[in-house]
Amino acid sequence: MSDRGTSRVEHTVEVDAPASDIYRLLAEVENWPRLFHPTVHVDHLERGEQTERIRIWATANGEAKSWTSRRQLRPEELRIDFRQEVSAPPVAAMGGSWIIEPLSDTTCRIRLLHDYRAVDDDAEGLAWIDRAVDRNSRSELAALKVNAELVVGAPDDLLLSFQDSVRIDGSAEDVYDFLDRADLWTERLPHVAEVELTEDTPGLQRLTMETRAKDGSTHTTSSVRVCFPRERIVYKQTVLPALMTLHTGYWLLEEDGDGVTATSQHTVVINVENIAAVLGDRAGVADARQYVQGALSTNSRATLGYAKGYAEGRV
């Protein structure tokens, strides 16, 4: 429907989970990169008892975007209202609501409402927004349904989080420069065979990389990276290796008077369906966890080691 240039749409899904559980999932935005495929990262800018300002980085129609929203949390109504403060073109304005309607003690209906306008009411821009809202809304509702019905995400043995750290006698600025300039990694990192980096918006990168494993095999991954100069780079893979259904992570730099502690963190969900194809018929989840952590840690430690050499060489 349309009213004075504003489009209004609604998407719904029914879920075999209590309405209160669904509300909690939606209220805890820090978990959204795990729950929702388009979401890369979410930061709280302000946080009150029932109001908050958040910044969201996500993909829309294959493009990386970021925006700032205000949210009004209404737990007694099982409702969350949101309104973008700063929208990304072609969006001129956007808002809406999550409304959770109990159907029984163990089931509910989720309604996701959007209203939006295009910059200058441009027809082509509006069509782009229509597609993005429809695609992301369907994706988010499907992900909510899956995660809620699996009792908030993947089983514990499929979820894997770990980190590696190194101490560097150099500046956070130099370490950050090494990690930020991924377009130079084919020259700087032996395990990177090919790389393509685009940064149409400062601090928001799309990275496609072909990486060599210890056995000589290569695999291609794509990520969206959100960069905070001198402090951290947060990323989410959008094209994943066969053994993962989710891979998020960050590079964190903690500087003090004597140098920098650089940390690489990974959160992974194992793809059970591909274990046999990759590791053999006798392999199980424990083997996949060990393989994935070994591969990611090897590359992370190598990258941190080369970043250390680069930063300490510039002192």
The DSSP letter of residue 250 is E
What gap in Å lies between CA 298 and CA 307, rounded to an integer?
A: 14
Boundary (domain end) residue, out of 149, 171, 196: 149
80 lies in the same domain as 201: no
Contacts of 48 (CB under 8 A, 6+ apart): none
265 lies in the same domain as 117: no
As given in the structure block, the two tokens for residue 88 are 């990304």
122 lies in the same domain as 264: no
Q: Which of 126, 149, 161, 167 is nearest to 250 (CA)?
A: 161
141 lies in the same domain as 188: no
Boundary (domain end) residue, out of 102, 118, 149: 149
134 lies in the same domain as 239: no
Position 3 scores a pLDDT of 62
- Residue 137: in which H helix or E strand, if any? helix 123-149
Give the CATH number for residue 243.
3.30.530.20
For the chain, the domain total comes to 2
67 lies in the same domain as 88: yes
228 lies in the same domain as 141: no
166 lies in the same domain as 189: yes
220 lies in the same domain as 92: no
Position 17 scores a pLDDT of 87
pLDDT in tens, the chain (315 residues): 446 689 999 999 999 889 998 999 899 888 788 888 888 999 999 999 899 999 999 887 778 888 899 999 999 999 999 999 988 889 999 999 999 999 999 899 999 999 999 999 999 999 999 999 999 899 889 988 887 776 444 566 888 999 999 999 999 999 999 999 999 999 999 999 999 999 988 899 999 999 887 777 788 999 999 999 999 999 999 899 999 988 999 999 999 989 999 999 999 989 999 999 999 999 999 999 999 999 999 999 999 999 999 999 997
Position 153 scores a pLDDT of 44
First to last CA, the chain: 61
- The whole-model pTM stands at 0.79
145 lies in the same domain as 112: yes
What gap in Å lies between CA 268 and CA 249, rounded to an integer?
A: 9
Q: Which of 249, 25, 271, 251 is nearest to 148 (CA)?
A: 25
136 lies in the same domain as 217: no
248 lies in the same domain as 276: yes
In angstroms, what CA-CA distances link 233 with 92, 150, 249? 28, 30, 9
Boundary (domain end) residue, out of 98, 119, 149: 149
Residue 54: strand pairing partners: 44, 69
Q: What range defines the domain where residue 253 resides? A: 156-313
